Structures are given as C-alpha cells and as structure tokens.
Amino acid sequence: MTYEEIFQTAKAEFMKSDVSSFKQHLAVQIDITGEGEGAFYVELKDGVLHVEPYEYYDRHVKLIASGKNFLKIVNGSLNAVVAYTTGKLQIEGDLGKALELQQIIETIKKAEKVEKKAEKKAKK
C-alpha cells in the first residue's frame, strides 16, 4: 500500500467515530514504517476530530507501526494493547493518551455494529 492509501483508509475509519462526548485535547502522531512510510496526525479538540497528513510536533504521543498493522488496529482486527505488547506497535510519549485513542477506535466499532444491526432490521 502507498502512504496515501494508508492515510485515506485510516482517515475514513477515524471519521466514522462520534467524538462529541470527548471534550479533552488529544494529539497523536502516527508514524508509518516500511511500505507506505510517512506520518500523519489525529487531533481531537473540543469534540471535533481532525486527521491530517502532517507531522504534529506538539503531540501527546507518537504511535509507530507498519501500515498493515496500524490499519488492523484501526479496523479492530488487532487490539492496540496486544500490538504494543507483541512489538507490532511502538509508543513514544503518554501511554494514557494512547489509550484514549484506543477508546475512539472502540467507538467506531460500536457504531459499525449498531449500523449493521439496523441494516439487517431494515431488510426484514
């Protein structure tokens, strides 16, 4: 995958989340290693989520992973804590802030489950 494909896929996943209840500030830089190498950031501020293809120097935490592993984390097929403990994800900075990002990812998965249930109900 190219950097652009990784970024666009991650951004599309993140933008599915409802972050309106998250009022704190969270700034996370994602460094993709290997194929599709590059950096982008996820920022949550005042209940609004931004995902942009730039480095974020005043970040709370930096996550470092291959594009393949990071997309697995974002789509829910790889738990971030498991990825971290097995060396598939490196974290520099505030681990608590990294866990806040995991909470946002979990809201995406919950929203997708609700959406799928609604679709099934509509088909009946």
Look-up of token digits 């950031």? 41
Contacts of 121 (CB under 8 A, 6+ apart): none
The domain segmentation of the chain, as residue ranges, is: 3-123
106 vs 9, more confident? 9
| pLDDT given for residue 124 in this prediction | 66
Give this prediction's pTM. 0.86
**How far is Cα 21 from Cα 82, in angstroms, rounded to an integer?**
26
pLDDT above 80 for 101: yes
| Environment class of 29 (CB within 10 Å of its CB; exposed 0-12, middle 13-18, buried 19+) | buried
Q: Determine the CATH number of domain 3-123.
A: 3.30.1050.10
**How far is Cα 19 from Cα 111, in angstroms, rounded to an integer?**
11
Contacts of 118 (CB under 8 A, 6+ apart): none
